[in-house]
Structure 1
């Protein structure tokens, strides 16, 4: 059993979980051992731990982990969706959302904004997230390449500076933080004397050191006032006092819920700079929806696509490929479907098959094209290539070969039809190998 008479070890245990020492007694020799009886008041919340709040709820609502926010709910048709989208689009005033509201409605509006920066404060827990309107645009993250051999991206850059709206989303981790920063309780929350920051509230805990320090900063619960504390916030005689039972202030009520505030900060100094062009969006919500779909719509489109694949007997988790030739390749395959002693086994999607196929067409040789699925490895293909790879060539009743370069060399050595290599000059032929 671990010896824990050292205050340093006690502090390390307490840093792992604020309630870790609540479940431990100390014997006369300094050994920590767990409770064997459940005494009322000793474990106020550790038995239940509010599993519906701390852990993921066991429902069928799909979740989305945004780059800045975790556990966003993908609910297709929440109540008053259109009203909430309009409100979070215009942001005419400071808007306060509970954690449930934010997780429900933000995925429906995340297409309007694009994240720019996140500011974490040194002595405060709340976090400020700054977002620009997506139509504001931004320069590319990397310089444009001057390499002439680099493949150019086939895309058209959207015009920039089409909108100047910038918003700040402030993430408060409990009601106390919200009231401390804004000076009033969150909307819809009763303002009573049990407010977390009410002075001289019943059951208020004496703080060690700075009286203004948040007792739950970094999730650590405060010591009860009847326990005198020395260095490390631990009783000075803990190592010598036998049968010591550490006691912490019980946390009553549910786990603190987060609150989120939305505020438009372009041109009004809300971003701490006072720059930017003030005013609302220069476009409509429909224009933002046209530029990009929100997370819920993208999720629905993916689900519909997977459902269509399952309906056709496919597995959406596996990579798909073209199993049959299409377009001009299908026309060529039909022309060469008749029986012939020269047979090409291939799959139209394979580039190595395509180079052999083009060579046969160039040399104008009579042949039979046989479309096979190399992943299923049919017996006719295994007879030519035991590895079941394409392309594979059979000439006559017994002779066969595979590998595209070998097949093309064989076709060239048949001395039939136009040559695959430049004529006569050996230097030119050497510099222009097959393929």
Structure 2
């Protein structure tokens, strides 16, 4: 009897509670990422002063992107740690690193106060955030997939992305309230820091939630946990899977950063008010939250491939025409309609993609391979989106030109889905023949 009891790992007591505790760190990550994008013009003035407003904004988005380049490093280093030591402890460590980055940016003096040290300090804060974010999404997605009930992996993993939408919603509400209560000059001078301070106050609460997280039964049931060198070697051997996973995730990351982080800057480019842009972002956060689990649940029933291909093809065909229609005569209603369309694409695709990516990576190095694939997509394409969109408009004079960036992302997703499930079908036929 004792042998039987020790061979069975303990089950998760409350899956709803586990989902809330696991995704709490995602809230902090996306809360701060969105604020950095939304207040990019004010951050540019505070830390990257320039006579050319576009140049200052590009510098700010450049630092935003440089922080994202740390994601692959964090995915490999922290991913190997989580695969070796456990999901629970690893997620606590990533939260601690992320909190450090958030505090640094919130309290950093301006360029006018300490000179060139200011942008350097902000960059350090972003690098820390990027390092931790590199494995945060992967670690949480893997955790959710490993506590999922049979046949519902897509639905469970979709809540990783849904939790980020709550952060967008809260951040947008705070920004909307500040804009209504404070003069624009006050917000530009110091008011933009208030949401960052609020983020710092949330940190202790999230730590309490993460400390009560249970280890997953799947990890506890593993007879052997790989060493760090074994994780690195396995990730190198599975480079093709990681590359295809990155291509699959590109559409998720690009579309997400376009409809959230870049929307306020895009609204300003279209001469719409900050209030209008915030209201659109609020609505997008709500619909993103809804469409993610819908996508995950639908893909659990009909399969990942048809959902991924359908949404990627729709995005490819409609991205530029929709933006062309919007930019021809911009209004709040048209911006809302276009952003809600992209929200539908993002939510359904993301809810499906997360489950698909968990399934194609090897189980013993699941966190490392998943995190690296997603981190590469986010670093090279997703978080580069605000910079790319700003640069495309500056180069072409066409305010709809970010649509071409979205089309490339959609093409990447479609090609990856075709290749992944073609190889899976070939492998299945080979197994049957054997």
TM-score, normalised by the number of residues in structure 1? 0.19
Structure with greater proportional helix content: 2
Structure with greater proportional strand content: 1
Bigger CA radius of gyration: 1
Q: Flag the structure with more relative contact order, 1 or 2, with Cα contacts below 8 A and sequence separation at least 6.
A: 2
